[in-house]
């Protein structure tokens, strides 16, 4: 059996009569194993995913394009708004590959959670890679099990809080901060690595986020060992959830006795290796859903039991009669899911697979989405100006152009473009046929170079045209003034200039006067401030003097900050007179004395 859909083969192919294996125990992975007779799968580990079928139905692709256009207004994600619209290098090239059309030269956001178009491209490639990894691993006489980790939740719980607790619990239970229990279990059960996928749905009890973890084992497990591993994983997962503040999960359901918090499934022999693209009909229950598809294809999965996937919520949020609650749920998912890794490979697993002879796809999500959209035979070249003005910003035209390319190639594209009022050869040009030689420039480089030359030529033409027009206008005005110096328009213009100069002079005079007044006010302010400072210094010195010499009489200074008070003249103090001083008349002026002054014998002022 030859695994299709991936390009290239390993340098060292497996002998048709031999299957290499990984023996349990201390032996090195990838060593020689048992020899069996029969056909043996060959694994290429190709980099481009499965080929698109020529007769594939494009209704799903059309729905994805329409959903992406509708989500731009409600998602609030900048890169989603530019996905499929922004031009990368001068122009856009419609391409055709196996009967399916796409665009090369446009930006792709690479958002596996939010963008319907990029999600499909990325998940299809990841799904094909996992399918072949599963086939390859099983052919080495190794084991695979899928572990599902869930957590309790309610409608009032926010998705961001649940995702944060889920991530922290994973680190404590099975990740970088795992305890001795899981480290010993990995040795006991022969866990060589894992691939973890993040999935989320929404139902009556709110957001339900969980992990699907594909465990790569050195040997298959019996049913009893699977149950033992499931119980041990539940103890680790529940302890980690409680430690991070989440609710204690339930191990088994009271209704049917099925596992709830942690569930481990051991696929039948050969099931995990079946290509998931042939299991897309698993939605109707006629066939089984593959392990790789369970980990990757969240874009086509449907919720069960009243639960909805994020893209089902998105479709409900963009309807004309959309419930505001659906819009809020979608935006909450966008904010939380942006930055969350949809697929995570454990450290060392990819290196182990390479050592065993399996080549992996090292491209990131952005590169996968861009390569998937750009591969194919070029049909035309659309300059950036034409793309923005007549196609990208006109609703439905980008998708209509793809349908025309799939229906009739370049001729259909030309007919559609000309029906929009565009000129073939000017607004849209034929695609350049480039030889298949790695040394020669790529299509993007040719487009970029042609765009630069075109822009330079256009700029030079406009520059010369503007210079000639400006020179002609100036020359015509000069000739008209020389021939008619006393024309009314020139007299009115001169009078306007004189009046403007007079108004300007009057305004300058007013400004000069205001400046002089401000300068005088400032000088007066500084003078008074200086006097106040001197008076304040004298008062401060006098106060310190009084404190230092309380018995010394200090002459008060006149303060400039408050009005001076009249000096207080104390009443004269009279000493008791001697008894012989009594007299009815003043001894000094011989005047008559009052009865109060008779004991003193004189007036107070004498």
For the stretch 61-85, pLDDT in tens is 888 888 988 898 888 888 888 888 8
Sign of the Cα torsion 187, 192, 198, 203 reads negative
Res. 576 pLDDT band, cuts 50 70 90: low
Sign of the Cα torsion 316, 319, 324, 327 reads positive
pLDDT digits (tens, 9 = 90+) for 97-142: 877 888 888 888 888 889 988 888 888 888 888 888 888 888 888 8
Contact in structure between 335 and 75 (CB atoms under 8 Å): no
pLDDT above 70: percentage of residues in the chain: 76
Other beta carbons less than 10 A from residue 356's beta carbon: 19
Whether the pLDDT of residue 416 is over 50: the answer is yes
Q: How far is CA 80 from the centre of its chain?
A: 10
Q: Which residue has the higher pLDDT, 358 or 604?
A: 358
CA distance 359 to 351: 10
Other beta carbons less than 10 A from residue 146's beta carbon: 21
pLDDT value at residue 571: 56
Q: Which of 244, 226, 365 is nearest to 299 (CA)?
A: 365
pLDDT value at residue 47: 43
Establish how many alpha carbons lie within 13 A of residue 568's alpha carbon, considering only the half-sphere containing its beta carbon: 3
DSSP conformation class of 259: B
Work out whether strand 100-104 and strand 377-378 pair parallel, antiparallel, or are unpaired: unpaired
Contact in structure between 272 and 143 (CB atoms under 8 Å): no
Res. 566 pLDDT band, cuts 50 70 90: low
3-state secondary structure of 429: strand
Instruction: Count Cβ neighbours within 10 Å for each residue of 78-95 and write b for 16 or more, e otherwise.
Output: ebbbebbbbbbbbbbbbb
- Range of weakest confidence among 184-198, 312-326, 590-604: 590-604
Contact in structure between 144 and 138 (CB atoms under 8 Å): yes
Whether the pLDDT of residue 56 is over 60: the answer is no
Torsion angle of C-alpha atoms 13, 16, 21, 27, degrees rounded to 10: -70
CA distance to 481, 492, 509, 510, 511, per residue, from 500 (Å): 21, 12, 14, 15, 16
pLDDT value at residue 8: 34
From first CA to last CA, the distance across the chain in angstroms is: 146
Mean pLDDT of 275-293: 34
Structure tokens, 378? 């070029």
Q: Which of 60, 22, 15 is nearest to 38 (CA)?
A: 15
pLDDT value at residue 35: 36
Instruction: Count Cβ neighbours within 10 Å for each residue of 177-205 and write b for 16 or more, e otherwise.
Output: ebeeebeebbeebbbbbbbbbbbbbbeee
Structure tokens, 237? 């997962």
Whether the pLDDT of residue 11 is over 50: the answer is no
CA distance to 16, 235, 575, per residue, from 571 (Å): 136, 102, 13
pLDDT value at residue 187: 92
- Range of weakest confidence among 35-44, 139-148, 485-494: 35-44
Other beta carbons less than 10 A from residue 384's beta carbon: 19
CA distance 480 to 22: 97
Q: How far is CA 150 from the centre of its chain?
A: 27
| Residue entry with tokens 């125990």 | 25
Whether the pLDDT of residue 541 is over 70: the answer is yes
Q: Residue 494: exposed, middle, or buried by beta-carbon count in 10 A (0-12, 13-18, 19+)? A: exposed
- Range of weakest confidence among 299-303, 391-395, 445-449: 299-303
Q: What angle do helix axes 324-337 and 159-173 make, rounded to 10 degrees?
A: 30
Contact in structure between 202 and 157 (CB atoms under 8 Å): no
DSSP conformation class of 306: T
Q: What angle do helix axes 310-317 and 324-337 make, rounded to 10 degrees?
A: 140
Mean pLDDT of 310-337: 91
CA distance to 75, 153, 248, 312, 531, per residue, from 207 (Å): 18, 7, 17, 14, 76
CA distance 241 to 168: 8
Contact in structure between 134 and 145 (CB atoms under 8 Å): no
Structure tokens, 398? 């980008």
pLDDT above 90: percentage of residues in the chain: 20
Structure tokens, 355? 């050592």
Sign of the Cα torsion 234, 237, 243, 247 reads negative
Q: Which residue has the higher pLDDT, 273 or 26?
A: 273
Q: Which residue has the higher pLDDT, 43 or 33?
A: 43
């Amino acid at each position: 059996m030859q695994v299709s859909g991936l390009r290239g083969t390993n340098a060292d192919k497996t002998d048709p009569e031999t299957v290499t294996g990984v023996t349990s125990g201390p032996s090195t992975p990838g060593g020689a194993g048992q020899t069996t007779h029969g056909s043996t799968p060959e694994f290429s580990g190709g980099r481009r995913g499965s080929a698109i079928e020529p007769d594939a139905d494009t209704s799903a692709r059309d729905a994805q394009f329409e959903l992406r256009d509708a989500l731009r207004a409600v998602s609030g994600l900048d890169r989603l708004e530019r996905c499929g619209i922004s031009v990368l290098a001068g122009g856009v090239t419609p391409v055709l590959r196996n009967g399916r059309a796409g665009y090369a030269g446009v930006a792709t956001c690479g958002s596996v959670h939010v963008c319907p178009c990029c999600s499909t491209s990325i998940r299809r490639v990841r799904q094909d890679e996992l399918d072949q990894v599963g086939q390859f691993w099983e052919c080495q006489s190794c084991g695979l099990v899928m572990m599902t980790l869930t957590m309790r939740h309610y409608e009032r719980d926010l998705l961001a809080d649940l995702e944060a607790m889920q991530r922290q619990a994973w680190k404590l239970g099975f990740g970088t901060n795992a305890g001795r229990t899981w480290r010993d279990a990995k040795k006991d059960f022969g866990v060589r690595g894992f691939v973890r996928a993040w999935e989320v749905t929404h139902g009556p009890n709110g957001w339900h986020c969980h992990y699907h973890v594909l465990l790569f084992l050195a040997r298959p497990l019996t049913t009893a060992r699977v149950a033992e591993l499931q119980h041990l994983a539940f103890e680790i997962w529940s302890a980690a959830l409680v430690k991070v503040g989440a609710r204690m999960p339930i191990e088994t359901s009271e209704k049917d006795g099925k596992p709830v918090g942690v569930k481990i499934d051991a696929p039948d022999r050969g099931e995990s290796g079946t290509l998931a693209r042939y299991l897309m009909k698993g939605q109707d229950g006629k066939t089984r859903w593959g392990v790789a598809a369970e980990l990757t294809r969240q874009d086509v999965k449907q919720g069960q039991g009243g639960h909805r996937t994020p893209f089902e919520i998105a479709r409900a949020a963009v309807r004309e009669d959309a419930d505001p609650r659906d819009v809020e749920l979608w935006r909450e998912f966008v904010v939380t899911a942006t930055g969350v890794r949809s697929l995570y490979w454990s450290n060392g697993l990819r290196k182990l697979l390479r050592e065993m002879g399996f080549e992996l796809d090292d491209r990131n999500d952005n590169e996968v989405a861009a390569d998937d959209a750009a591969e194919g035979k070029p049909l035309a070249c659309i300059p950036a100006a034409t793309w923005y003005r007549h196609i990208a910003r006109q609703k439905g035209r980008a998708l209509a152009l793809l349908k025309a390319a799939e229906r009739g190639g370049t001729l259909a594209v030309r007919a559609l473009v000309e029906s929009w009022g565009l000129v073939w050869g000017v607004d849209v040009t034929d695609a350049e046929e480039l030889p298949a030689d790695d040394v020669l420039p790529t299509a993007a480089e040719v487009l970029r170079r042609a765009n630069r030359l075109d822009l330079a030529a256009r700029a030079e033409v406009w520059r010369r045209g503007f210079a000639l027009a400006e020179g002609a206008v100036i020359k015509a005005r000069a000739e008209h003034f020389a021939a008619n110096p006393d024309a009314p328009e020139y007299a009115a213009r001169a009078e306007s200039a004189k009046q403007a100069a007079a108004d300007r002079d009057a305004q300058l005079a007013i400004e000069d006067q205001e400046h002089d007044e401000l300068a005088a006010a400032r000088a007066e302010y500084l003078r008074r401030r200086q006097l106040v400072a001197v008076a304040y210094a004298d008062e401060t010195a006098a106060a310190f003097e009084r404190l230092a010499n309380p018995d010394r009489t200090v002459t008060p200074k006149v303060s400039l900050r408050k009005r001076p008070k009249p000096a207080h003249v104390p009443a004269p103090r009279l000493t008791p007179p001697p008894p012989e001083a009594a007299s009815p008349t003043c001894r000094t002026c011989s005047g008559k004395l009052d009865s109060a002054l008779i004991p003193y014998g004189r007036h107070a002022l004498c």
